Amino acid sequence: MPTNLNAESKAKWKRYLLEKRPEAKIRALEDFYSAIPKHKGNEKLRVNIKRKLSNLKIEIENKKKRSSRSSGYGASLKKTGAAQIVILGHTNVGKSSLLATLTNAKPQIANYEYTTTKPIQGMLEFENLGFQLIEAPALMPQNVESKAWNAQTLAIAQNSDGLILMIDISENSTYQLKSIIDHLEDFGISISKPKFEVEILRERARGIQIMLSGKLLDCNLKDVEKLAHSYGIRNALLKIFGETKLEDIENALLENKRIFKSAIILANKTDKVKKNTEDLKVNIHDYIPLLEISCEDKNNLEEVAPTIFKTLGIIRIYTKEPGTRPTSNMPFILKSGSSVFRLAKEIHSDFYRDFKYARIWGPSSKYPGEKVGGTHILKDGDTIEIHTK
């Protein structure tokens, strides 16, 4: 259902976008919230605005704490390695045991509840890559006291590149999995791949420019432009991927969307029970890899890193100078589906600006040293040589 916001509420949203300080943002958002017409089609938007408000309040709280005494995890969880993966789960499911087995970290492991109270990190080696694994403090059942605790854990997840949802197979595993997914959903994080994506870039655009790679289902480009104008957006580049409705674009303009995190599920403690996980898989809509493991018996643990790698959808690209041999040190990490242009930008804006052509060796090339243009799609393990003007 479309949101049907009237001009007054749209004007209030515009005001919110203009505010910079969290305190002022809260006031503007509260004002906007009270102007949203109360019908069923707006329920999601209302929940989302409530969440935004609560996040802004947490942000202010954290700022206060930081200025009085250094706290908050931000700096200590600086990203390193090819990807940052956060282990999420209820208490005692074996998160620390997993971290201790797969990495060099030495977390405390114990059978009492909430042993881990701060995030702990270690590096998981996979071929020539390292994944930074972070055990986040366990998710607690939702109630008033656990709100701040859970918010800190979920904020760590929000900042990550991927998630491990860990459950104890010898306990009520269906409930555990649903609980983790519900926590994430409530926080605005989805583990199901979105069918469409709308990106709004406000900088450096002149007028409303639309880059469509997919299909508009119930509108045309003119409608999109009109919609943006109605929110006071005059200059922006809208990138639209997949099959999209006008309502989806409106939700993107209202920042009313979930962020997607790729995830894998680890069902731990298979040594304790012989149980089938088929029933668990039924409850997951999209295909999300599920591994049955045992930290105790070290069962199936070798599968964890390759499964993370596949699920993240990343590729390793090696670069070389013209006239030298291909090397296999320090690849560039890109999203799968990335083009030669994307890599050129990643290396240096000069390579992108002065790009002439590239030569490719490896999986995406028809023959060694194939000459390709900037739109050529790279594959994991390619070696590339960029020629500039």
Ligand X SMILES: Nc1nc2c(ncn2[C@@H]2O[C@H](COP(=O)(O)OP(=O)(O)OP(=O)(O)O)[C@@H](O)[C@H]2O)c(=O)[nH]1
Which residues of this chain interact with Mg ion, rule CB under 5 A? 95-96, 115-116
Q: Which is nearer to Mg ion, 137 or 331 (CB)?
A: 137
Terminal Cα-to-Cα distance of the chain (whole angstroms): 51
Under rule CB under 6 A, residue 139 binds ligand X: no
Size of the site for ligand X (CB under 6 A): 23
**Length of the chain as a residue count:** 389
Residue found under tokens 């004002």: 31
Can you tell me the distance from the alpha carbon of 218 to that of 227, in angstroms, rounded to the nearest whole number?
A: 13
Judged by beta carbon distances under 5 to 8 A according to partner kind, the member of Mg ion, ligand X, none in contact with residue 276 is: none
Residue with tokens 């201790």: 100
Give the pairing of strands 208-216 and 355-361: unpaired
105 binds ligand X (CB under 6 A): no
114 binds ligand X (CB under 6 A): yes
- Minimum Å distance from CB 118 to Mg ion? 10
Closest to 375 measured CA to CA, from 344, 340, 347: 340
Using CB under 6 A, which of the segments 280-288, 291-299, 349-357, 372-380 binds ligand X? 291-299
Name the minimum Å distance from CB 72 to ligand X. 20
Backbone angles phi, psi at 211, to 5 degrees: -110, 110
The token duo for 357 is 């052509």
Nearest by Cα to 88 from 329, 263, 275:
263
Segment 42-101, which members bind ligand X (CB under 6 A)?
Answer: 89, 91-97
Cβ nearer to ligand X, comparing 45 with 120: 120
State in angstroms the smallest separation of the CB of 97 from ligand X. Answer: 3
| CB nearer Mg ion, residue 24 or residue 109 | 109
Q: Could you say which DSSP state residue 142 is in?
A: S
* Residue 346 phi, psi dihedral angles, 5° rounding: -60, -40
Q: Which of residues 296-325 bind ligand X (CB under 6 A)?
A: 296
* DSSP code, position 183: H
Contact with ligand X (CB under 6 A): which of 1, 110, 148, 201? Answer: 110
Contact region for ligand X (CB under 6 A) — 19-27, 112-120, 308-316, 361-369? 112-120
Supply angle C-alpha 367, 369, 375, rounded to 5: 90
Encoded one letter per residue, x for contact with ligand X by CB under 6 A and - for no contact, window 246-275 reads ----------------------xx-xx---
Side-chain half-sphere CA neighbours of 225 within 13 A: 10
121 binding ligand X? (CB under 6 A): no
Distances 91 to 100, 139, 140, 258, 361 between C-alpha atoms, Å: 16, 7, 8, 26, 47
Shortest distance in whole angstroms from residue 73 CB to ligand X: 16
34, 67, 68, 111: which one binds ligand X (CB under 6 A): 111
Instruction: Provide the minimum distance between the beta carbon of 14 and Mg ion in the complex, in angstroms, as a whole number.
Output: 45
Query: Are 107 and 96 contacting, i.e. CB atoms less than 8 angstroms apart?
Result: yes
Nearer to ligand X among residue 271 and residue 346 (C-beta): 271
What is the nearest approach in angstroms of Mg ion to the Cβ of residue 239? Answer: 40
Residue choice 54, 115, 230, 339 for contact with ligand X (CB under 6 A): 115
CB 314 within 8 A of CB 335: yes
- Phi, psi of 284, rounded to the nearest 5 degrees: -105, 120
DSSP per residue over 144-178, as a string? TTHHHHHHHHHHHHHTSSEEEEEEETTS-HHHHHH
**Cβ of residue 167: shortest distance to ligand X, in angstroms?**
10
Q: How far is the CB of 140 from ligand X (least distance, A)?
A: 10
Instruction: Choose one: 30-38, 111-119, 144-152, 364-372; the region binding ligand X (CB under 6 A).
Output: 111-119
CA distance 28 to 170: 48
Q: How far apart are CA 290 and CA 25, in angstroms?
A: 41
Residue whose tokens read 């320090």: 330
Out of 113, 182, 199, 350, point to the residue binding ligand X (CB under 6 A).
Answer: 113
Write out the residues near ligand X by the rule CB under 6 A. 89, 91-97, 109-111, 113-116, 138, 268-269, 271-272, 294-296
